[in-house]
Amino acid sequence: MARTIVGVFDGREEAQRVVQELVDSGYSRDDISLMMRDTRRDTREARPTGEKREDRAAESAGIGALLGGAGGLLVGLGALAIPGIGPLVAAGPLAAALAGAGVGAGLGALVGALVGMGIPEEEAQHYSEAIRRGGVLVAVRSSDDMTERAVSIMERHNPIDIERRAAEWRAEGWTPSEITAREQRTVETQQPITSHTEREADFQEVEEELKVGKREVERSGARVSSRVVEEPVEEDITLREERVDVERRPVDRPASEKDLEAFEEGAVEFRERAEEPVVQKEAHVTEEVHVGKEVEERTETVRDTLRRVEVDVEPLGEMDRTTLERGFADRDDAFRSHYNTHFSGTGHTFDYYQPGYQYGWDLAHSRNYRSMDWSAIENDARMQWERHNANTWDQVKDAIHYGWQVARERTMERGMT
């Protein structure tokens, strides 16, 4: 019984090595699939089937270069465009399954293709999201007796823990696509895709925050060591040495009384003495080396750029923008009259409040707000206004409210006629 073994890798190089080992281990190239985001700057949409042969060859060469060594091992290289994910490059059975779903098939097409390879639907949703976030997917169809071999090859190259990643994505607010694999398989690819404006969608405003900390790093310093140096020295010294000299002189004279005293026994010793050098070394401290550290503090300004994702809601109704602006212009007298009554003494001209009248007018014609009371939309209106006109809401909120009221009255008049 054939099984599909799937691994997702953070880097393209790891995925390439997995494909190489699978081929070297005896797996057929026809059973190996690879899919990843197309990160080339000159990425183009999938070409129509009527393109020239040389164009196809050029694109295949470009995709092969993108896949590196794996591009020469796999079959069915192709470029795809999946709404919700973006441009992809794929090879193997998975690429063939997506190509059969038709160019422009929705996000569920990828989930459906993975389910068709025997992957549970929930896991297929996780793999689809991993590819959207830049992961590289490798899948191989394997017989039961070779399954452990495929698993071992993938584990050696550190695949991501898809369940743990999915839990992290959910914590960030991600939810699986509303289009399930079962729904996708029942949709004819020739049918037009439902307009995105008729679906619900969630958007997150993301803002980076600068946090500056400090860490201790080694830069430079001094290493102090000591060594013993031997140096030969010499010094002259005068030494005294004694020798006993015995001299016998023959004489012939009469003995004196002093000479007669010599008849007594006795002995006299004469010892020879000599000086020899005595060497003694005495240590003297000639220099002291003190090693220490001076600590100083300085203030450094850290400069960086912070990014944030802003979600702009452009009020749109059933009529086009030209019609909205024409209707707004037709009420210019009403807005100027309101200005003269409420704002003429503020020191600001009509032009200062005109954007507020326009903003309220557009809100009333927005599909999102046109059936709601002012109290229900005021917080959203203020948040969107302050994003581009900070600290001005309190000055112009009455103008915005009036513009909204005029538009609502116009809408009601049109409904009655």
- Write the pLDDT tens digit of every residue in 219-276: 777 778 888 888 898 889 899 888 888 888 898 888 887 777 777 777 778 888 898 8
Q: Is residue 208 part of a domain?
A: no
Q: Is residue 258 part of a domain?
A: no
Question: What is the spatial distance between Cα 407 and Cα 166, in angstroms, rounded to a whole number?
Answer: 46
Q: What are phi and psi for residue 302, nearest 5 degrees? A: -95, 125
Structure confidence by residue, pLDDT tens digits, 274-293: 988 888 888 888 888 888 88
Q: Which residues neighbour 54 within 8 Å (Cβ) at sequence distance 6 or greater?
A: none
Q: What is the pLDDT of residue 417?
A: 42
In total, how many domains does the chain have?
Answer: 2
Q: Is residue 227 part of a domain?
A: no
Number of H helices, E strands in the chain: 14, 5
- DSSP H helices, 137-293, are 147-155, 162-171, 181-186, 257-260
With beta carbons less than 8 A apart as the criterion, state whether 33 and 139 touch: yes
Q: What is the pLDDT of residue 101?
A: 56
Consecutive 10-residue runs of the chain (417 residues): their mean pLDDT?
89 91 91 86 43 46 58 71 80 82 58 87 92 92 91 93 94 75 39 34 73 76 82 89 87 82 75 87 86 85 82 52 82 93 92 93 83 88 91 93 88 57
Q: Which residues neighbour 328 within 8 Å (Cβ) at sequence distance 6 or greater?
A: 357, 358, 361
With beta carbons less than 8 A apart as the criterion, state whether 123 and 165 touch: no
Q: What is the pLDDT of residue 352?
A: 93
Q: Is residue 316 part of a domain?
A: no
Q: Is residue 6 part of a domain?
A: yes
Q: What is the pLDDT of residue 104?
A: 43
Length of the chain equals 417
Residue with tokens 């310093």: 221
The SS3 call for residue 254 is: coil
Sheet holding 32-37, edge to edge: 2-9, 136-143, 32-37, 86-91, 78-82
Q: What is the pLDDT of residue 151?
A: 93
Q: What's CA 135's distance to the chain center, in Å?
A: 13
Q: Is residue 95 part of a domain?
A: yes
| 325 in the same domain as 193 | no
Last residue of a domain, one of 166, 197, 228: 197
Residue with tokens 């699939």: 33
Q: Is residue 307 part of a domain?
A: no
Q: Which residues neighbour 1 within 8 Å (Cβ) at sequence distance 6 or greater?
A: 143, 144
Q: Which two tokens stand for residue 139?
A: 């899948």
Q: What is the pLDDT of residue 319?
A: 53
For 15-61, the DSSP string reads HHHHHHHHHHTT--GGGEEEEEE---TT--PPPPTT--HHHHHHHHH
Last residue of a domain, one of 137, 162, 197: 197
Q: What is the pLDDT of residue 84?
A: 72
Q: What's CA 395's distance to the chain center, in Å?
A: 42
Q: Is residue 394 part of a domain?
A: yes
DSSP state of 401: H
Last residue of a domain, one of 153, 174, 197: 197
Q: Which residues neighbour 269 within 8 Å (Cβ) at sequence distance 6 or greater?
A: none
Give the range of the structural domain holding residue 411, as residue numbers without chain letter. 321-416
